[in-house]
Amino acid sequence: MGDYRMEQYNSEFAKLADVCRENGKIDSELYTKYNVKRGLRDINGEGVVAGLTRISTIKSKENVNGEMVPCEGVLRYRGIDVTEMCKGFIGQKRLGYEETAYLLLFGKLPDEAELKGFQNLLAESRTLPKNFVRDVIMKASSADMMITLSKSILTLASYDDNTDDLSLPNVLKQCIKLISVFPMLAIYGYHAYGYYDCNNSFYIHNPSPELSTAENILKMLRPDQKYSALEAMVLDLALILHMEHGGGNNSSFTTHVVTSSGSDTYSVIAAALGSLKGPKHGGANIKVVRMFDDMESNVKDLTDQDEVAAYLRKLLHKEAFDKAGLIYGMGHAVYSMSDPRAQLLKSFVEKLAKEKGREEEYQLYKMVEGMAPQIIAEERHIYKGVSANVDFYSGFIYSMLDIPVELFTPMFAIARIVGWSAHRMEELINQDKIIRPGYKSVIPPTDYIEMSKRP
């Protein structure tokens, strides 16, 4: 198609889009009139209860004299405080991704023999079909690693003779397989894109059965396959904290919805990936990193609090960065006083920044974290407090681990596949009805059209 025809072609779609917009707009006042909770959240930001779960618990409010008031955030996996669990791993200087995955999937902490058996099962499952890298990952490579992941997941269904078998043992086997190969699919996809589209060298490092998930990610990603103990521990911590966050987050809810229709595991996980891909969900940490890059380009003195504060106000006034009016990494749909995941990550950011010689950047992050809540409170009418969320520091951590920005969201997926798997199993165990919320039609009777009277 020539340039002129392409211009005409695009112009036609622009006109048709205007028709869609004109006839598809719904008056925002109607949501209040009919008591419809937009985004399944009420006016106070509380989520509409759509299901029950035993997998994780989020606490952001507590009862004080009969009134629910904001409190320090708490996240529990299967009833266990994640903060305390991670502090235990850190104190014992051991990596806990696999143990936490066992906890989420099976509802209890494993004993030594159970953990070893599970680790062996993950290692045995960490293989791809013959020529899969060549025939699937290396062909039609994409700059969008989430698209690459989705393509690979759906193609894996072609290699499974029991794709549509919804028995619990089969679904569990499929889930553990996907948990095992997600890092390979993401990292090999990144290397394939760099080789074919960016003219970089191409290398494939096979995972080692004796290494943890975090260690294998760093080994497969780096040309020299080397990493420090601190790097492995920080990445392991990030994966644990991103592993699960209640059934109400967008991608986990998507997992429940698609599972309830009777769909197969590969389609369910591909749907969850599509949800996580959105910048309002899994792509938020990329926005944080790019916002700080823009800040460094437009603020003369990054140690001057007044200059940094002025930039933050410009963000809120839609005068800086992407002009969305947001300070990315600040605020959360559930937490108000604190996000426990952000607090845990922050405890390691300073150590990693020192090891990587990026202490000045850390001080800037620390300054913004301290100033942003007050600036947001002054500039906006908000119904609750605002604090740094998990995305505020995770992108900076990935950057210090030399993980390319293209893999930031896939790293989230590599962790969250465990939570998705647990939610899929939970939905299958308790499945009763297909999830089908109602939508009220707001077409006025005067707009009804009788075809026989159509001009």
Of residues 242, 245, 256, 332, which has the active-site annotation?
332
Looking at the chain, how many residues does it have?
455
* Residue among 42, 425, 40 nearest 244 (CA): 425
Locus of tokens 């800037």: 364
Could you tell me the CA-to-CA distances from 72 to 144, 298, 311, 433 in Å, in that order? 36, 34, 28, 36
Annotate 19-65 with DSSP letters as a single string.
HHHHHH---THHHHHTT--GGGB-TTSPBP-----SSEEEEEEEEET
Work out whether strand 56-64 and strand 80-81 pair parallel, antiparallel, or are unpaired. unpaired
Distance between CA atoms of 172 and 235, rounded to whole angstroms? 25
Distance between CA atoms of 403 and 411, rounded to whole angstroms? 9
What lies within 8 Å, CB to CB, of 150 at 6+ separation is 270, 273, 274
* Cβ neighbour number for residue 236 with a 10 Å cutoff: 24
Distance between CA atoms of 74 and 56, rounded to whole angstroms? 11
3-state secondary structure of 174: helix
Strands (E), 31-154: 56-64, 67-77, 80-81
Query: In what helix (H) or strand (E) does residue 157 lie, and over which residues does it extend?
Result: none
Distance between CA atoms of 263 and 197, rounded to whole angstroms? 35
Sheet with 80-81: list strands edge to edge. Answer: 56-64, 67-77, 80-81
* Cβ neighbour number for residue 293 with a 10 Å cutoff: 13
> What are residue 68's DSSP bridge partners?
63
Of residues 391, 423, 432, 447, which has the active-site annotation?
391
Indicate if 160 belongs to the active site: no
Q: Vertex 243, ends 370 and 341: CA angle to 5°?
A: 20
Q: In this structure, what token pair is assigned to residue 401? A: 């681990």
What lies within 8 Å, CB to CB, of 331 at 6+ separation is 376, 386, 387, 389
Indicate if 332 belongs to the active site: yes
Residues designated as active site:
332, 391
